Amino acid sequence: MSDFNKTQRDPLELVEIIPDEKPHIFIKDDKICITECENKPCTYYCPSRVYYWKDDSIKILYERCIECGACPYGCPYENIAWQFPGGGYGVVY
């Protein structure tokens, strides 16, 4: 059996997570989304529903990202920047 079962100590207490200063997904120009993009495909082609509209602007829940890499390819205006999260963090398969 593992030590966790014996001590009931949370193993995450031993890990320090330092998030990036900026998210790994961002919109290059919000104005393009508002004025030119009619169908808002990012809100439905993303398998984990990272993108949504609120108060007439695009919002990103980057924490939900499963790092499939579809974002930049699905945007008809090439307005989404996506990269792997830095620091070795991100989804582990």
How much is the pTM? 0.69
Q: What is the mean pLDDT of residues 30-45?
A: 91
Please name the residue that has the structure tokens 């998030």.
19
Q: Could you state, in order of their start, the residue ranges of all structural domains in the chain?
A: 20-82
Question: Of the ranges 8-12, 29-33, 82-86, which is most confident?
Answer: 29-33
Instruction: Express each pLDDT in 73-92 by its tens digit.
Output: 889 999 999 888 776 666 66
With a pLDDT cut of 90, the percent of the chain lying above it is 28
DSSP 14-69: G------SS-SEEES-HHHHHHT-SS-THHHH-TT--EEEETTEEEE-GGG-----
Q: For residues 80 and 77, what is the distance between their CA atoms, to the nearest angstrom?
A: 8
- Written out in words, the top-level CATH class of the domain with range 20-82 is alpha beta
Q: Which of 76, 72, 83, 27 is nearest to 53 (CA)?
A: 27
